[in-house]
Amino acid sequence: MQLHSQLKNINQHVCPVAEPTSLKLEDTSDSEQDQEANLSVAMTPNTISPHYKPSSTEGQYTCQPYECYKEDVIPPAVHEKVSKLMEDLTDNFTSVGGSRDVLYFGEYNYSYTGTKHDARETPLPIQELLDCIRPHLPNPNSWLNSCLVTRLSWICGTCSAAGPDRYNPFASSLGDKHNPGVDEYSDDIVTMSNILQNCDLYDKHKLKSLFKSIEREQHSHLSITFNNIDGNASNFDAFVADISQYDNKFDIISIAETNVNEEHKQLFQMDGYVSEYNPKMANKKKGTGVGMYIKEQYQFNKLEHVTKCSKNLESLFIEITNTNVPQIVGVVYRPPGGETELALKELESLLESLPQENVSITGDFNIDLLAGNDHNRSEFEQMIYSYNYVPLISLATHTKPGCQASLIDNILVNSTNSIISSGILKTKVSHHNPIFSVIKCQQKSSNNEISSLPKYDYCDKNTENFLHDLETSVYVKSNSVPMNQASIILLPN
């Protein structure tokens, strides 16, 4: 029977040895089509469950695992709650072989494919799920006391095999014999394709392994992370706590939508880091402001000529000077309420003003690289590639209930030969996942005497402020001393 065969295939995702039982259908019609229309629940009785609690009446109840396949049995609201719960508990899943990871909830211990699962309190979303399924059980006397969730329960096998959407326009060019330019630039295309193909999701354990691997290979490096935190006031403390769980501290941390002006940056500090902020848009309370945190071991200058703030684009750039090769790192935010065309022109102006190598631009560009045939995406791609910049992030970075996942956060670089790795952090404090990159970079060695000296930042803005302070006698203690005879004391930052 075709239906019997289909259920057997579905059961392979849950238990490879399961055989569907005779189905208890509401309609006794011999028509297979009618039977499929009335099917609400299919049973997958591989064994009597190890957590089965015998009834006081012998044989009155049986406890068998089951799976519900009819979509309308579970309301969308409940499905969303359970999906969010599974996302929060993603690190609690246990592998049971092959591609199957499971998470068990129940009053009693449970053994599944040789793996023991301890009793775990059933959270409210799972209880709601069981309550939705209960009325559809074939046996009205059945009772529910456990739930075994597999990752494959939430996506079909075809989608699981295909994997998530990934941005990689170079993959299709490889091996294209009809494109005369491929052979000439094949090495570059392979490099860029590999960068995008190797971009992955990282939890704290996977990230720790990555940095251990980098250390084993003795790569001196500079690590950079970016996150749109959607407001310092509401999310900064959570972001700092979140980023602190990683054993390897990022060298540069850039953030967007701070909603904070430069003069208030001291309210938001990170131990071991120096901060730089760009003023937010005037009279705008939300959706503005960029900032950066730089490890204290680095000397840097703020690049005023590429640090801008308009209604279409906001930017902040620094140059790290105590590395073997100066590294420029920037953060960019494109407010979605601005004009995209003007934002792209302003971004192009920034790219023209920056060096042709050793530049990393982090940011939320609010242009979805997974959007397919989209005019803004095409214009954005054409511009960054024309200036030899390549995006390092290829998976969705922004997820919001009721919206399609999008790739709007990225890190653009113009020195692909220095890339070690890039990826997306799983934990997040807003709708945006943090993204990161690791590039080859060696810090200049310095003796203790030099490193103990105060570090001065001689950028244009600090020089202007210093001259202004001289005019107002901040450093000249006595008005009776002529300016040309006064002793001037430089104060370190």
Tokens linked to 408: 């709007």
- The answer to whether residue 188 is domain-embedded is no
Tell me which residue has tokens 């399924």.
133
From 300, 334, 330, select the one nearest 317 (Cα to Cα).
330
Q: Is 7 left (phi over 0), alpha (psi -120 to 50) or beta?
A: alpha
Look up tokens 């950066």; give the residue: 292
Cβ partners under 8 Å of residue 470, min gap 6: 476, 483, 488
Q: Which long-range contacts (CB under 8 A, 24 or more apart) does 96-102 make?
A: 99/151, 99/152, 99/160, 100/13, 100/150, 100/151, 100/152, 101/150, 101/151, 102/148, 102/149, 102/150, 102/151
398 and 493, same domain (yes or no): no
Pair 380, 469 in one domain: no
C-alpha to C-alpha distance for 99 and 217, rounded to whole angstroms: 30
| 433 within a domain of the structure (yes/no) | yes
For tokens 């060298």, the residue is: 251
Does residue 190 sit within a domain?
Answer: no
Strand partners, 412: 361, 391
Higher pLDDT, 251 or 179: 251
What is the band of 367 on the pLDDT scale with cuts at 50, 70, 90? very high
Whether 6 and 139 map to the same domain: the answer is yes
Residues 19 and 125 in one domain: yes
Residue of 416, 327, 405, 336 whose CA lies nearest to 376: 336
Strands 42-43 and 419-425: unpaired
User: What is the C-alpha separation between 323 and 335, in angstroms, rounded?
Assistant: 33
| Owning domain of residue 483 | 454-493
If you ran DSSP here, which 8-state letter would residue 129 be given? H
Q: Coil, helix or strand for 458?
A: coil
136 and 46 fall within a common domain: yes
- Does residue 300 lie within any of the structural domains? yes
In a domain, residue 463? The reply is yes
Which of 22-26, 229-233, 359-363 is the least confident region? 22-26
pLDDT of residue 202 exceeding 50? yes
Domain limit, last residue, from 399, 414, 440: 440
Please check whether residues 262 and 386 belong to one and the same domain: yes
Same domain, 375 and 470: no
Give percent helix, percent strand, percent coil of the chain, each to the nearest 5: 35, 20, 45
Nearest to 241 by CA among 480, 427, 6: 427
Q: 493 pLDDT band (50/70/90 cuts)?
A: very low
> How many domains is the chain built from?
3
In the chain, what's the furthest Cα-to-Cα distance?
A: 110
Residues 156 and 300 in one domain: no
In 10 A of CB 380, how many CB atoms? 22
Cα radius of gyration (the chain): 29
The answer to whether 173 touches 179, Cβ cutoff 8 Å, is yes
- Is residue 189 domain-resident? no
Q: Mention every residue, 6+ apart, whose C-beta is less than 8 A from residue 182.
A: 173, 174, 175, 176, 189
Mean pLDDT of the chain: 77
Among residues 160, 176, 209, the one where a domain terminates is 160
Structure confidence by residue, pLDDT tens digits, 87-142: 788 778 776 554 457 788 887 777 655 567 788 888 998 888 888 877 777 665 66
pLDDT in tens, 341-353: 999 999 999 999 9
The secondary structure of residue 467, as a DSSP letter, is H
Cα of 16 vs its chain's centroid, Å: 34
First-last CA distance in the chain:
79
Q: Give the model's confidence band at 277: pLDDT under 50 very low, under 70 low, under 90 confident, else very high.
A: very high
Is 345 a domain residue?
yes
Q: pLDDT: is 19 or 328 the higher one?
A: 328
Q: How many residues does the chain have?
A: 493
For residues 210 and 437, give the distance between their C-alpha atoms in angstroms, rounded to a whole number. 11
Task: Examine the domain organization and report whether 251 and 393 are in the same domain.
Answer: yes
Is the predicted pLDDT of residue 334 greater than 90, yes or no? yes
At 44-93, the pLDDT tens digits run 333 333 333 344 444 443 344 444 445 567 787 887 888 788 878 877 87
Q: Any residues with CB less than 8 A from the CB of 279 and at least 6 apart, and which?
A: 261, 262, 289, 309
Q: Are 82 and 135 part of one and the same domain?
A: yes
- Average pLDDT rounded to a whole number, residues 476-488: 43
Q: Cβ atoms within 10 A of the Cβ of 294, count?
A: 21
What are the structure tokens assigned to 311, written together? 């209604």
Helix axis angle, 375-386 to 340-353, nearest 10° = 10
What pLDDT, on a 0 to 100 scale, did the predictor assign at position 41? 31
| CA distance readout (Å), 282 to 230, 289, 337 | 17, 10, 15
264 with 146, same domain? no
Q: Is residue 11 domain-shared with residue 143, that is, in the same domain?
A: yes
214 in any annotated domain: yes
